[in-house]
Amino acid sequence: MSRRLNCRVSQNLWNELQAEAKRTGNSLSHIVQEKLGAAYDLEHHTIFQVSTSTAVTKGLFKGCTTVADLKDHGDFGLGTFEDLDGEMILFEGQAYQARDGGIVSIAPETALTPFATVTRFSPEHHSALSAIETQLQLEACLDALRPSDNTFVGIRIDGIFDRIELRAACKAAPGEDLVAATSHQSEFAFENIEGTLVGFWAPAYAKTLTIAGYHLHFISKDRSKGGHLIDVTAQNLQAQLHLETDFHVAVPETEQFLAADLNEDPSADLQIAEHGHANDRN
């Protein structure tokens, strides 16, 4: 959640702020927040992630971090819950859990996550998107907004969606890996629904740590519906991009994680689990 700060500053400080804004191209709001964050040792422009994408593909679904602890590192992001029990959407400081059929509830502070990615969202870039017919087209529009293929980006997209197709992972059976678990996921669609897409874009070089490319979850404006994006149609959307400069991973200390063989490239399994259904349609 963002708060508005109104205060008086000296002329010298004002001149310095104006000069930095001109030099960097950043807004005064961004500069003040960055300086205050540094003064109070808060994490800004930092992605905090629990576990790794490779661990998830191997079926390491036991929770290792609570929702309450996750919120100490961000107010915006996504993930899943212990045993792959639904989709997590962290939005404006509140964590939501989307289960079968896209039904959303507020996640308890004590709920555990085996994998989540969060940040303190403070966008630098705003852009209108129009005539979106597919998820691939949406991603192409976002590609044009990203300044580099080598940096991480937080993404928020607001608007009324003509049709949005989603899925929610269902609880994994003991011994299932990610591909097996998502083979019986719940898939559903909503039409003429207002809400927000929350997520990230990550570079290809990070594929053994996180989900490379786009990873987006949806939450409706009334906070009653949500899930993992697999396709979309919309006429007018508003996109905001937050450029990330640091990436921190919390390595689980669970016996399951410490004993696992995590040397394989998870890309193929993630492609099936994260994008396979959408690609079949496009």
Please report the pLDDT score of residue 41 as a whole number.
Answer: 55
Q: Is 3 left (phi over 0), alpha (psi -120 to 50) or beta?
A: beta
Same structural domain for residues 15 and 51?
no
69 in any annotated domain:
yes
User: CA 189, CA 52: separation in Å to the nearest integer?
Assistant: 29
- The pTM (predicted TM-score) of the whole model is 0.80
Q: What is the mean pLDDT of the chain?
A: 88
Please report the pLDDT score of residue 281 as a whole number.
Answer: 41
Which domain, by its residues, includes 24? 10-41
β-pairing, 46-50 vs 246-250, is parallel
User: CA 152, CA 141: separation in Å to the nearest integer?
Assistant: 16
Q: Which residues contact 22 (CB under 8 A, 6 or more apart)?
A: none
Please report the pLDDT score of residue 43 as a whole number.
Answer: 59
User: CA 227, CA 47: separation in Å to the nearest integer?
Assistant: 21
Check: CB of residue 193 under 8 Å from CB of residue 220.
yes
The more confidently predicted of residues 160 and 208 is 160
Model confidence pLDDT, tens digit, residues 75-125: 999 999 999 999 999 999 999 999 999 999 999 999 999 999 999 998 889
Say if residue 174 is exposed, middle or buried (CB neighbours under 10 Å; 0-12, 13-18, 19+).
exposed
Model confidence pLDDT, tens digit, residues 164-213: 999 998 888 887 888 887 777 899 999 999 999 999 999 999 998 999 99
Q: At 35, is the pLDDT very low, low, confident or very high (cuts 50, 70, 90)? A: confident
In this model, does residue 269 exceed pLDDT 80?
no
Same structural domain for residues 143 and 228?
yes
Same structural domain for residues 33 and 115?
no
Q: Is 202 left (phi over 0), alpha (psi -120 to 50) or beta?
A: beta
Which of 205, 209, 210, 190 has the alpha carbon at shortest distance from 78? 210
Count of domains forming the chain:
2
Please report the pLDDT score of residue 280 as a whole number.
Answer: 46
Token reading at 128: 């209108």
73 in any annotated domain:
yes
Q: Which residues contact 80 (CB under 8 A, 6 or more apart)?
A: 56, 61, 86, 87, 88, 113, 114, 115, 116, 169
Report the CATH number that the domain containing residue 178 is assigned in CATH.
3.30.1330.80
In this model, does residue 134 exceed pLDDT 50?
yes
The more confidently predicted of residues 58 and 90 is 90
Same structural domain for residues 211 and 175?
yes
Please report the pLDDT score of residue 122 as a whole number.
Answer: 86
1 in any annotated domain:
no
How many CA atoms within 13 Å lie on the side-chain side of 139?
19
- Averaged over 48-73, what is the pLDDT? 91
How far is residue 38 from each of residues 32, 33, 34, measured CA to CA in Å? 10, 9, 6
The more confidently predicted of residues 233 and 54 is 233
Same structural domain for residues 99 and 34?
no
Determine what percent of the chain is predicted with pLDDT higher than 70: 89
Determine what percent of the chain is predicted with pLDDT higher than 90: 61
In this model, does residue 127 exceed pLDDT 80?
yes
273 in any annotated domain:
yes
Which of 169, 175, 139 has the alpha carbon at shortest distance from 157? 139
Same structural domain for residues 210 and 100?
yes
In this model, does residue 279 exceed pLDDT 50?
no
185 in any annotated domain:
yes
Same structural domain for residues 36 and 108?
no
Please report the pLDDT score of residue 44 as a whole number.
Answer: 64
Same structural domain for residues 120 and 260?
yes
In this model, does residue 56 exceed pLDDT 90?
no
Beta partners for residue 167, in sequence order: 187, 228
Please report the pLDDT score of residue 277 as a whole number.
Answer: 47
